[in-house]
Structure 1
Amino acid sequence: MKILSFVNCEARKVYRSTVFWVVISVFSLLPLMLGFLSSPDLDWESYLSDLLASTATLLVVGCSFTSAWVFGREYTDNTIKDLLVKPIPKTYSVLSKFIVITIWNVILASFSFMVVTGVGVFIGINGGSISLILSEFLTFMLTAIMIMAVSTTSALLASVTKGYLAPIGLTFVIVIVSNVVMHLGMGTYFPWTIPVISLVDNISFISIVIVMMTGITGLVGTIAWWRFAEQK
């Protein structure tokens, strides 16, 4: 039950912050604009395929930001000292942050899908069905889970660099590198492009392993850093 109190505390930090509502607003406006730029002559399958791929790319940035901010703000707000001196398991503190980040990211992904779908209904996209939309939603959420996994590296970098500026900067570098590796046909081997590719094409077992190993590295590395490095 102790972990639940940690999660509740972290959730309150996020929910009461301005950043939470700014991020939610951004992930409302961007899919909204992308949706209205789409042609109403598309069918639902083509419409969702195009829009969700673009939304997933935005989600890569969003999930990296949420991970970086939740961990990095402890250093920029100088509250890390309070966490380190308290006689509490540091693993609980890290895991509670990751749980809250996951909930935040699930909200972002779900809300983005709702906006995209809502715009499709508004502009009159034809040829849809509940089963198609549900299938696309499940596929999109699986993609979002992979994006969340690779975004744990932002939490690790935020902890190591003691702030969120470095991981946010790295996120923009990743966006640039992603375009390069996609152009070179190496996207299935780059952790941050694999989830987006999975929306439009099948990915290999190697790609899945790359995503899993990246996620494990970020998670375990962050726990280890808070457990050992920050105690010195």
Structure 2
Amino acid sequence: MRHFTAALDAENIKIRKSKMIWITLAIFTLAPLMGGFFMFVLKDPELARSSGLLGDKAQLLGEATWPAFFSLLAQIIAVGGIIVFGFVTSWVFGREYADRTIKDLLSLPVHRTLIVIAKFVTVLVTCLLLSLYVIAIGMLAGMVVGLPDWSYATAVDGFYLLASTTALTLALSPPVAFFACYGKGFLAPVGFVIFMVVCAQIIAAIGYGEYFPWAVPALFSGMTGIEGGLESSSLLLVLLVGVVGFSTTLVWWLFADQY
């Protein structure tokens, strides 16, 4: 337990002192603010049109209500989270190869399983905090805009949607860790994330998104107009991807230095 705590502390220090966290915060600050802006435009399209804003295009979002805004925030986490969470994961695992500190970690008198788990816990905590940050900024933007239809039931449903979408998106991060280790750097995992996002868009567009794990969070968030309308098999696929990604990353750390 002492070794695990030490490994976790080391990973947390790396996160706090890196520029990566500020880049991700900047990205996740802009997204909910833009969502609040679109809701403002949608709430009063006549004012937006007279002010020169894109009121007609903003109407494509639907209606300016709290349920619609919760769904929009969930879509931000689902689509943006795959990229941002993948970036965080690739940094946590890939930097050891980029900075050439992997040999130092492998030579430590600490079981490598503990190092891998500490890295995944760091990714989990960091991404959860980023999601909470998005939700907090989004809630503040919604209150400033003055969105209607707020109620206890709406809040419970909205936070359930956000929590579930975050969990599904996080479950897709472990394969990124494996590609960071296999590719020994940042290029392979970032390329993998971009490729999966593109494939998710194409596969969802032709109607088979529920069978492609990287499209499931966006579908669950209501991007197609139906929130949470997925079979349990789709959710199990996402879980399976997470388990396989974690297992392959762990196996790589345990045996890669034998070659």
Alignment TM-score, normalising by the size of structure 2:
0.85
Equivalent-residue separation in structure 1 for 2:108 and 2:258 (angstroms): 12
Equivalent-residue separation in structure 1 for 2:76 and 2:248 (angstroms): 30
Counterpart selection for 2:143 from 104, 116, 121: 121
Partner of 2:253: 226
Partner of 2:86: 64
Task: Extract unaligned runs of 5+ from structure 1.
Answer: none
Question: CA offset at residue 48 of structure 1?
Answer: 1.8
Question: CA offset at residue 193 of structure 1?
Answer: 1.0
Alignment of 1:187-202 (within 5 A): 187-199=209-221, 200-202=227-229
Partner of 2:9: 8
Question: CA offset at residue 190 of structure 1?
Answer: 0.8
Two-structure CA RMSD over aligned residues (Å)? 1.4
Residue type matched to 1:5 in 2?
Answer: A
Partner of 1:103: 125
- Aligned residue pairs, count: 232
Residue type matched to 2:18 in 1?
Answer: S
Answer whether contact 2:31 2:76 (CA < 8 A) is retained: no
- Listed one character per residue, the Cα deviations across residues 140-199 of structure 1 (whole Å, up to 9, x for unaligned) are 112111111111100000001101111111211222111101111111011111122122
- Listed one character per residue, the Cα deviations across residues 44-86 of structure 1 (whole Å, up to 9, x for unaligned) are 1122223421332111111111111100000001110100112
Go from structure 1 to structure 2 and tell me whether the alpha carbon gap of 1:131 and 1:15 turns closer, same or farther (over 3 Å shift): farther
Q: Which deviates further from its counterpart, 174-183 or 122-131?
A: 122-131
Equivalent-residue separation in structure 2 for 1:85 and 1:161 (angstroms): 20
Alignment of 1:81-160 (within 5 A): 81-160=103-182
Alignment TM-score, normalising by the size of structure 1:
0.95
Determine if the alignment matches structure 1 residue 22 to structure 2 residue 23.
yes
Instruction: Mark the structure with the bigger radius of gyration.
Output: 2
Residue type matched to 1:40 in 2?
Answer: K
Partner of 1:203: 230
Residue type matched to 1:128 in 2?
Answer: W
Answer whether contact 1:105 1:148 (CA < 8 A) is retained: yes
Equivalent-residue separation in structure 2 for 1:71 and 1:216 (angstroms): 17
Answer whether contact 1:35 1:51 (CA < 8 A) is retained: no
Q: Select the structure with the greater relative contact order (CA < 8 A; seq sep ≥ 6).
A: 1
Task: Extract unaligned runs of 5+ from structure 2.
Answer: 45-63, 222-226
Equivalent-residue separation in structure 1 for 2:156 and 2:29 (angstroms): 20
Determine if the alignment matches structure 1 residue 172 to structure 2 residue 194.
yes
Q: Which deviates further from its counterpart, 72-81 or 38-47?
A: 38-47
Answer whether contact 1:84 1:231 (CA < 8 A) is retained: no
Equivalent-residue separation in structure 2 for 1:131 and 1:220 (angstroms): 39
Answer whether contact 2:11 2:122 (CA < 8 A) is retained: yes
